[in-house]
Amino acid sequence: MTWYDRPLLIGDHVRLEPLDLHHVEGLHAAGRDPDTWTWMNTPQPRDLDDTRAYVERALADPDRLAWAQVDPRTGEVAGTTSYYEIDPRHRGLYIGHTWIGTRWQRTALNTNAKSLLLRRAFEELGAHRVGWHTDLRNERSQRAVERLGATREGVLRVHRVRPDGTLRDTVVYSMTAEEWPSLKARLSA
């Protein structure tokens, strides 16, 4: 097993399947609500060809490992999530590029997905640190990361350019291997 493998990860509320072109139609259906894309670094795909291009870009990115988030009850694709900025030498990575369709927001699906990714990072890969980046204006995402038990480290000013051309300040969060055992117990509860 290496840091760049994308195994199937199965939880009670989500199945994380390595993202592939066969997920395009499901992703397109899950991402129909424009609000889903408000804080994403890419604009909402307009049609299946745009969604296919979105998936192809994710798969071609050498610094990103993407999974489709699948609802295990229905088999429907609910969204996507990824590891990125993977650094095996310093034993760290980020979790992000995450979105889920409106129907699955505020359900256990996303928390379960993060728990699976954290368990893999800390327990299988031996990560020292897992981080998150979120738009300063995306308070819902910040609250979700905080519910996981991550620590807010600060703000990177003028860190990225949004799809509309405006400049984005980014909030940085992290969790460490030392913190993981107690946070894992909290997530399981």
Q: How far apart are CA 133 and CA 98, in angstroms?
A: 11
Mean pLDDT of 87-102: 97
* Residue range of the domain that includes 28: 9-188
Check residue 185 and give its pLDDT. Answer: 87
Query: What stretch of H or E contains 24?
Result: helix 24-30
Mean pLDDT of the chain: 96
Degrees to nearest 5, angle at CA 160 with 148 and 112:
20
Q: How many domains does the chain have?
A: 1
Single-letter amino acid, residue 168:
R
Q: Is residue 143 a part of any domain in this protein?
A: yes
Would you say residue 189 has pLDDT above 80?
no
Mean pLDDT of 122-145: 96
Hey, what are 53's tokens?
């291009």
Predicted TM-score (pTM) of this structure: 0.95
Q: How far apart are CA 28 and CA 49, in angstroms?
A: 10
How many CA atoms does the CB half-sphere of 90 hold within 13 Å?
10
Check residue 5 and give its pLDDT. Answer: 96
Q: Is residue 1 a part of any domain in this protein?
A: no
Mean pLDDT of 143-152: 95
Question: pLDDT tens digits for 14-32?
Answer: 999 999 999 999 999 999 9
Q: What is the CATH number of the domain that holds 41?
A: 3.40.630.30
Q: Is residue 111 a part of any domain in this protein?
A: yes
